[in-house]
């Protein structure tokens, strides 16, 4: 019987991709399976992406077992953060004036430093390993989703990705995205979805462990059980499960999947934190929740997927101005196939950012208009104060009303004084006619590890998000505010203003 382990500790993303449906056994921090040490029990180990480098969540016992597996010639595949864990070190100080290094196991002789990448990519195989045997010169597909993607060192290169953008700028070139150890049994990749989209890689893994037809059938059956058990928990090692009876009760919603957008008056508003908490709270109640990102930076929805245990799909990024993965109309076609109860869309920067660009669509506002998506506006109080946040969101909503956007609700985020916040409520309600106005206090989080765009400890960030949303937001109200989308067409700013001004004048 062939056994392929799958690392399941805080900060890992167990359902972010399927890894060719190969994993059969969960590996936890005790480094044991059925009472036996994993280096004696397993044929191979897969270490998924996530934030295990930032979280430092792998025990010393498990580290020793992983090193033993590599030494004994068992296969080890590390993906993204899992790759970084197998490397020498990773500099996670993306916005720090000096490196902030986290040590890895040193099984792969490379180190990582900051380089943001969120492309869907083609990657060229340049050398053999247990994973790429006989495939040199061939291309595979997948996607990047990393903050620390710059790889340097002496490990044998096996893969190079053709990227279009890095660090938010167009910079087409070929970059290193996969390496192996000298023996070829330990491999690190940065191309998520590689096993799911490229069956030849899966075939090589099965060949390496000498799996026969019966073994392969058993692996597939064990994988189904594994995925079912993993999906029952919200997040990883949280002890929070959802009630299956509630999920069954909600099946009646699925023929008419609803959608709602979380947008804001600007960056650093807390959109990702709020989106994550909403997605987690809905999943706890048994809803099947989809989550999308306007624009290319799919890293923002990773925390939601950590809680939700849904895959990063090829439609998870809504294309704007040629940036991103898939056009909105195509996204809706794919959503129908996934049988979601509700879909949460996270906007990009301000809802109007990109609105005056000649390319259409280039903003969250244009996406909302194109499909009649109701919007909950988030306005942060941490920069200009509560009064400024109130005036800011009112001016945004008034413009959105002129453009024909349905503002379903308003959240003043990062409130530091309830009295001042309450004094703004009548002003906001009178000017915006909103029935859904909520105040969320400033949540005190640890100094490092709670900024998705810079560095994130998924476990801490996500549990704080769920707790905050459950305490301060009416989740059932969110469901009622969501609506069934209908794709109309894209319009530029002038066309939008001409159209809706004309309608109001009539």
pLDDT tens across 171-227, in order? Answer: 999 999 999 999 999 999 999 999 999 999 999 999 999 999 999 999 999 999 999
Q: Specify the DSSP element, H or E, that contains 437.
A: strand 437-441
What percent helix, strand, coil does the chain show, rounded to 5? 35, 25, 40
Q: What average pLDDT does this structure show over 457-482?
A: 94
Which pLDDT score, from 0 to 100, does residue 506 have? Answer: 52
Separation of alpha carbons 192 and 143, rounded Å: 5
Q: Specify the DSSP element, H or E, that contains 289.
A: strand 289-294
Average pLDDT, the chain: 93
Residue 189's DSSP bridge partners are 79, 178
Phi and psi, residue 114, nearest 5°: -60, 130
Peptide bond into 210 cis (omega under 30): no
Residue 331 near residue 378 (C-beta atoms within 8 A): no
User: Which 3 state secondary structure label does DSSP give 153?
Assistant: strand
Q: Secondary structure of 326-343 in the HEC alphabet?
A: ECHHHHHHHHHHHCCCEE
When mean pLDDT is compared across 19-23, 316-320, 492-496, the lowest value belongs to: 492-496
Q: What average pLDDT does this structure show over 258-277?
A: 96
Sign of CA dihedral 90, 92, 94, 100: negative
Which pLDDT score, from 0 to 100, does residue 455 have? Answer: 58
pLDDT of 448 strictly over 50: no
Sign of CA dihedral 163, 360, 355, 269: negative
pLDDT tens across 346-386, in order? Answer: 999 999 999 999 999 999 999 999 999 999 999 999 989 99
Residue 413 near residue 437 (C-beta atoms within 8 A): no
pLDDT-derived band of residue 250, with 50, 70 and 90 as boundaries?
Answer: very low
Which pLDDT score, from 0 to 100, does residue 233 have? Answer: 95
Residue 379 near residue 390 (C-beta atoms within 8 A): yes
Q: Specify the DSSP element, H or E, that contains 495.
A: helix 493-505
Separation of alpha carbons 34 and 393, rounded Å: 56
pLDDT tens across 149-166, in order? Answer: 999 999 999 999 999 999
Angle, vertex CA 218, rays to CA 213 and CA 219, nearest 5: 95
Sign of CA dihedral 129, 134, 137, 141: negative
Phi and psi, residue 65, nearest 5°: -65, -40
pLDDT-derived band of residue 505, with 50, 70 and 90 as boundaries?
Answer: low
Which pLDDT score, from 0 to 100, does residue 93 have? Answer: 87
* Residues above pLDDT 70, as percent of the chain: 94
Non-local CB neighbours of 427 within 8 Å, separated by 6+ positions: 390, 394
Structural domains in the chain plus CATH codes: 4-231 (3.40.50.880), 253-505 (3.40.50.300)
pLDDT tens across 282-306, in order? Answer: 999 999 999 999 999 999 999 999 9
DSSP result, 58-74: --HHHHHHHHHHHHTT-
pLDDT tens across 9-24, in order? Answer: 999 999 999 999 999 9
pLDDT tens across 395-444, in order? Answer: 999 999 999 999 999 999 999 999 999 999 999 999 998 889 999 999 86
């Amino acid at each position: 019987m062939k056994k392929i382990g799958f690392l399941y500790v805080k900060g890992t993303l167990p359902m972010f991709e399927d890894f060719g449906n190969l994993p059969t056994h969960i590996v936890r921090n005790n480094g044991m399976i059925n009472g036996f040490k994993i280096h004696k029990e397993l044929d191979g180990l897969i270490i998924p992406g996530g934030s295990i480098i930032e979280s430092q969540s792998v025990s010393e016992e498990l580290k020793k077992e992983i090193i033993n597996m590599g030494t004994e010639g068992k296969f080890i595949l590390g993906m993204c953060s899992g790759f970084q864990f197998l490397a020498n070190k990773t500099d996670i100080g993306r916005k720090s004036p000096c490196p902030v290094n986290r040590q890895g196991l040193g099984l792969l002789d490379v180190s990582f430093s900051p380089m943001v990448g969120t492309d869907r990519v083609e990657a060229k195989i340049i050398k053999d390993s247990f994973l790429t045997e006989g495939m040199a010169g061939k291309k595979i597909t997948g996607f990047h989703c990393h903050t620390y993607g710059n790889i340097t060192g002496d490990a044998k290169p096996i893969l190079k990705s053709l990227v279009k953008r890095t660090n938010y700028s167009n910079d087409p070139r070929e970059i290193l995205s996969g390496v192996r150890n000298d023996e070829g049994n330990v491999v690190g990749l940065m191309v998520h979805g590689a096993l799911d989209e490229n069956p030849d890689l899966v075939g090589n893994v099965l060949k390496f462990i000498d799996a026969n037809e019966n073994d392969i059938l058993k692996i597939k059956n064990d994988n189904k059980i594994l995925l079912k058990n993993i999906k029952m928990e919200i997040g990883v090692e949280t002890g929070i499960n959802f009630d299956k009876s509630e999920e069954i009760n909600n099946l009646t919603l699925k023929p008419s999947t609803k959608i709602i957008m979380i947008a804001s008056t600007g960056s650093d508003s807390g959109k990702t934190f709020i989106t994550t908490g909403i997605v987690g709270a809905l999943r706890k109640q048994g809803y099947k929740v989809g989550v999308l990102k306007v624009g290319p930076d799919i890293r923002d929805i990773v925390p939601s997927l950590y809680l939700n245990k849904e895959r990063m799909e090829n439609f998870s990024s809504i294309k704007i101005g040629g940036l991103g993965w898939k056009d909105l109309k195509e996204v809706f076609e794919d959503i129908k196939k996934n049988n979601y109860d509700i879909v949460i869309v996270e906007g990009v920067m301000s809802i109007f950012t990109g609105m005056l660009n000649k390319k259409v669509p280039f903003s969250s506002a244009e996406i909302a208009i194109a499909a009649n998506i109701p919007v909950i506006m988030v306005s942060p109080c941490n920069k200009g104060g509560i009064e400024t946040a109130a005036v800011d969101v009112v001016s945004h909503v008034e413009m959105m009303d002129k453009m024909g956007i349905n503002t379903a609700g308003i959240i003043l985020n990062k409130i530091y004084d309830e009295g001042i916040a309450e004094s703004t409520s009548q002003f906001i309600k009178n000017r915006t006619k909103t029935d859904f106005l909520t105040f969320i206090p400033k949540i005190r989080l640890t100094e490092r590890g709670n900024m998705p765009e810079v560095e994130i400890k998924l476990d801490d960030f996500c549990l704080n998000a769920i707790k905050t949303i459950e305490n301060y937001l009416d989740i059932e109200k969110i469901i009622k505010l969501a609506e069934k989308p209908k794709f109309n067409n894209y319009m530029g700013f002038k066309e939008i203003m001409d159209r809706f001004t004309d309608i109001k004048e009539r």
